[in-house]
Amino acid sequence: MGSNDVLSDTDGSDAVRRVSRRNLLKRAGAAAAFTAVGPLVAACGSSKSTTSTTTGSERSTTGTSSASATSTAGAQIRELLGLPSGKAAAQGITVPVGASMALSGAVAIYGHLDYTAIKLAAEHIKQAGGPELHVQARNNELANAQKGVANAREWGGSGVPVVLSSGSATVFSELPYYSQFKMMGLEPGGATKLGEGKPFFYQTRSEIPNDQLTGISAYLKAKHPAFKKVVMVGLAYSPASDKLQEEAVKQTAASSGWSYLGSFFAPVTTTDYSSLISQIQSAKPDFVLCAIYGASVGVFLKQYATSGLKAPIIGFDYTPEASKVAGSAISGYQFAFDYFDASKPPNEWAKLFVAEYERAYGEEPTYYSANYYEATFLIWQMIREIVAKSGDPTKQGNAYVEALTANPKFPSVYGSGGKYGTKEISPTTHSLVRVPMVYCEVNSEGKVQVLATFNKGSNSEFKLV
C-alpha cells in the first residue's frame, strides 16, 4: 500500500488486516450476499432452458446431445420421409458441420432457438440411420462480422464442408470464405434479396421483406381497401439492408396504389422509440409497416400503445418474446411471414418435431427452430446424394452444390397436409422458389390467429381464412 493510497484503511497493517477473522467474516458475508442474488435472478424468466455463456463462445455436439430424442423418433421420421437405410443413408460416416449463431449477448435468444433445433435434428438423423453430424457451433453475436470471419476461417482451415449460418451469414462476412474453401453455407435464419446468387451460399427461408409484402398487399386490398398511406419503421442494421427494405416498400406501395410517406429508423441498440413514434405521428399514415425483429417488436409496441396513435402495425416478424415484453400492447399486432405455428403443426413431420422439441426442451419451437431443424435434414439429403454418386461428404469441394442442384426440393415441416411439406431452392437465385406464408393477428393473450395464407411469387394462392 503506497502512502498516496487515499482509500487505504487508517489503522493496522495490511498483513494483519488481510488475515484477521473480522475481515474474513466481512468478506464472507459480502460473498454470501452476492451469491444470494443468484437464486432470485434464477426465478426470473419463463424460459427453462439456458444458452451458451462461455467467453470462448464455442460448443460442439455429435449424436449424444442433451436433446436426447426418443429412440422411436428416428424410425418414425425415416418412415414419414421415406428414407433409405444403411450405406445409402450414409450411416457410419461422421460429417463436420459448422454452425454460426448468437451464443452470447443481447440476441443470444436466437442462438438458443437455432442450436437446440440443430442438436435435435442431429440426434434424429443419427437415430434414423443417418450419418453422425459433428456440429461445431461458434458465436457470431448474430451480426458481428469479425466473429463471422474468424468462424469461417476456422471451419475453412479445418475442412468443414457445410455450415448452418445466421444473420445473413453474419452480414455477408463469411461468404468470401465459403467460396475460397468451397464449403456450402445455408442460411435458414434471415434471408434477403442481397444474398441472392452468391456462390456456395443458399437461403432456406423467405426473403425479408420482399416476400412478405406480397401477402400484406393482398390482405389489405381485400380487407382494408381504404388504407392508402404507409410508413415503414425499423432498426438501422446497415445502410445496405435499410435501403433494401425501403426500396421494397416503395415498390410495393407503387404497385398497390399506396402513398409512401417515408421510412424511419432508430439505432439498432435503442430501447426508446419516441423519435419513431413522433415521426409516425407527423406522417399520419393509415398503417405502419414494422421492420423491427425479435423482442424489440414488443418494446416498440409497448411504447406505441401509449402514444394514442391508432394506425395498425404490420410486421415481418413475431416471436413469443415480443408478446412477453409487450404485454397487452401486443393486442392487434399483425404480421406476415413464414411463421411456424407450433400449436397447429401443418403436417405429420411437423407434429413429430413439435412433440420432440417440447419433450426435449420443455418449450414450443419457434419458426427459427423449425427452420434450422429442417435445414439440418437438408444437409443429410445432400450427404445422401453425394454418397450415391460415390463422393465424399466429409470433404470440401463442389459436391454439396452439385447435390443441391441435382435435387433442389427438400422435405419441410412447413406446408399443409400430408406427411411433410416441400421446399425448393432455385439454382439461379439460391433462394426458395416457393414458401408457404401466413398473415396473422395476435390477441391480448399472445394467441396468434391466422387471417390469410399465401405463397411466395404466387398472387393466385392468396386465401383469406
Residues numbered 4 to 23 that lie near another protein (CB under 8 A) are 4-10, 14
Q: Which residue has the cell 432457438?
A: 113
The residue among 259, 120, 245 whose CA lies nearest residue 192 is 245
Task: Pick from 327, 391, 427, 446 the residue near another protein by CB under 8 A.
Answer: 327
Nearer to another protein, 34 or 460 (CB): 34
Interacting span for another protein (CB under 8 A) from 44-52, 124-132, 198-206, 249-257: 44-52
Specify the 3-state DSSP secondary structure of 410: strand
Q: Does 318 bind another protein (CB under 8 A)?
A: no
Judged by beta carbon, residue 6 or residue 225, the one nearer another protein is 6
Distance CA 171, CA 188 (A): 14
Question: For another protein, which residue of 12, 25, 26, 64 counts as binding (CB under 8 A)?
Answer: 26
Of 45, 157, 197, 418, the residue at the interface with another protein (CB under 8 A) is 45
Q: Is residue 307 a contact residue for another protein (CB under 8 A)?
A: yes
Q: Which is nearer to another protein, 6 or 226 (CB)?
A: 6
Residue nearer to another protein on the CB measure, 26 or 409: 26
C-alpha cell at 93: 460416416
With CB under 8 A as the contact rule, the residue among 2, 82, 225, 417 that binds another protein is 2
The binder of another protein chosen from 16, 24, 25, 31 (CB under 8 A) = 31
Nearest to 428 by CA among 404, 457, 398: 404
For residue 114, give the C-alpha cell: 437455432
From the list 302, 351, 359, 395, which residue makes contact with another protein (rule: CB under 8 A)?
A: 302
Kindly provide the b/e burial profile for residues 10-36, where b requires at least 16 CB atoms within 10 angstroms of the residue's own CB: eeeeeeeeeeeeeeeeeeeeeeeeeee
Q: What is the CA radius of gyration of the chain?
A: 25
Q: Binding to another protein by residue 281, rule CB under 8 A?
A: yes
Tell me which residues in 52-81 interact with another protein (CB under 8 A): 53-55
Task: Name the segment binding another protein (CB under 8 A); options: 64-72, 101-109, 243-251, 341-349.
Answer: 101-109
Whether the CB-CB separation of 113 and 52 falls below 8 Å is answered with no
Task: Check binding of 367 to another protein (CB under 8 A).
Answer: no
Q: Rounded to an integer, what distance in angstroms lies between the CA atom of residue 224 and that of residue 213?
A: 15
Please give the Cα distance from 278 to 282 (Å, whole number).
6
Helix (H) or strand (E) holding 184: strand 184-187
Closer of 444 and 459 to another protein (Cβ): 444
**Nearest distance, CB of residue 412 and another protein, angstroms:** 26
Binding segment toward another protein, per CB under 8 A, in 41-49, 132-140, 159-167, 333-341: 41-49
Site for another protein in 247-266 (CB under 8 A): 265-266
When binding is defined by CB under 8 A, the residue of 271, 416, 458, 459 that contacts another protein is: 271
Counting Cα atoms < 13 Å in the Cβ hemisphere of 417 gives 0
Residues 210-249 close enough to bind another protein by CB under 8 A: 235-236, 239, 242
String of DSSP letters for 220-247: HHHH-TT--EEEEEEEE--HHHHHHHHH
Residue 442, CB-side half-sphere exposure with 13 Å CA sphere: 30
Residue 443 touches another protein, criterion: CB under 8 A: no
Alpha carbons within 13 angstroms on the beta-carbon side of residue 374 total 29
Q: Rounded CA gap, 246 and 227, in Å?
A: 19
Which window, 104-112, 154-162, 177-185, 441-449, contacts another protein (CB under 8 A)? Answer: 104-112
